[in-house]
Structure 1
Amino acid sequence: MSTPAVRPPRPIIPSLSVGGQPGGLDSATWQRFRSGKLPSARRLDLHGLTVQHAFHALVAFLRSAHADRLRCVEIITGRGNSENGGAIRRELPHWLNRPDLRPLVLAASHPHALNPGSVRLLLRRVR
């Protein structure tokens, strides 16, 4: 009788916060990314979509960008009309921390302090 193969546990990836420097990213790259000097290769505009449609569009966009080996992408959520922002803007950090999307994203930041309606993502390299 053979014993079943035991897979090693997956490494725990810390949760992602918009604007926080992640571990494993050098300061020079973080500064270039955070200041907007690292250009985004693609943009996804979620204006006018329902939350459900926005989520599905985000998943497809991130998987496609990661498969195409893109490094920096931008997600436009809009500012929303309430004091906490719109529903898509509030949900985006939760979506990015889902177990199926978190391994794709290394860092997230607003491209400019005065533009909270847009988030730039630094994608992990494909190895």
Structure 2
Amino acid sequence: MALWRMVVRDIAPMHPARAKPEPQPVSQKIKEDPKPMKALSAAVTVPERELSFGAMLARPVVRRTRAQDLRIGVRAPGLDDTSWKRLSRGNLKVDAKLDLHGYIVQDAFDRLIEFMHRAKARNWRCVEVVTGLGSGATSGLIRRELPLWLQRADIRPMVLAVVHPHAANHGSVRILLRTKRK
């Protein structure tokens, strides 16, 4: 632990506003405020080994960075200008189209997953998914769920960008997919 502190002592956070102070180990907290622990220590004795384990649990959790969240109509990092302009202007040829009108949400989800895996197997570059705007009491459930479905771990690596083919129609999306080089 001391070696690690020596390694990271000169490192400054990239985002100081988000940096959190290191929590104190449990053993230091006990030493600072012994009054509540006197009553507890009379009833239960805690070995030092458990305190160090508790200190490890109190440390902040380091999480892996997530891949860029997918947002409709927002250019993803790493996408070249030409492909983005062609996709966003609707000039990119659509290889296949999936129409989800009239499906219940679970069936639409199953069809989308199957369609995306077929698109990957056939090395399609651009596909269109029509969800419709929705009507009735549960208006547009498929349309609202589609971005979440595209975030799934098995689908997200396939997708480069998602746009609405026409600004006034949010009932369909065009999806630019990663392709295998030939």
Unaligned runs of 5+ in 2: 1-63
Q: 2:68 aligns with which of 14, 19, 32?
A: 14
User: Paired residues, what number?
Assistant: 117
**Aligned Cα RMSD in Å?**
1.8
Tell me, yes or no, if structure 1 residue 91 matches structure 2 residue 145.
Answer: yes
Unaligned runs of 5+ in 1: 1-9
Secondary structure at the counterpart of residue 106 of structure 1: strand
Tell me: CA distance 1:104–1:11, structure 2 relative to 1, closer, same or farther (3 Å).
Answer: farther
Tell me, yes or no, if structure 1 residue 100 matches structure 2 residue 154.
Answer: yes
> Which position in structure 2 is the counterpart of 1:3?
none
Distance across 2 between alignment mates of 1:106 and 1:18: 11
Cα displacement (A) at 1:100: 1.1
TM-score (norm 1): 0.86
Distance across 1 between alignment mates of 2:177 and 2:110: 18
> Which position in structure 1 is the counterpart of 2:113?
59
| Higher RCO structure, 1 or 2 (CA under 8 Å, sep 6+) | 1
Q: 1:42 aligns with which of 76, 84, 96?
A: 96
TM-score (norm 2): 0.61
More helix by share: 2
Q: Choose 1 or 2 for highest CA Rg.
A: 2
Secondary structure at the counterpart of residue 120 of structure 1: strand
Q: Runs ≥4 in structure 1, deviation > 4 angstroms?
A: none
Secondary structure at the counterpart of residue 57 of structure 1: helix
Tell me, yes or no, if structure 1 residue 69 matches structure 2 residue 145.
Answer: no
Distance across 2 between alignment mates of 1:13 and 1:85: 30
Cα displacement (A) at 1:65: 0.7
Render the CA deviation track for 1:55-103: whole Å, top value 9, x for unaligned: 0000000000111000000000001137x95000000000000111101
Distance across 1 between alignment mates of 2:96 and 2:65: 29
More strand by share: 1
- Sequence identity percentage: 50
Distance across 2 between alignment mates of 1:85 and 1:21: 28
Distance across 2 between alignment mates of 1:51 and 1:15: 22
Distance across 1 between alignment mates of 2:65 and 2:85: 26
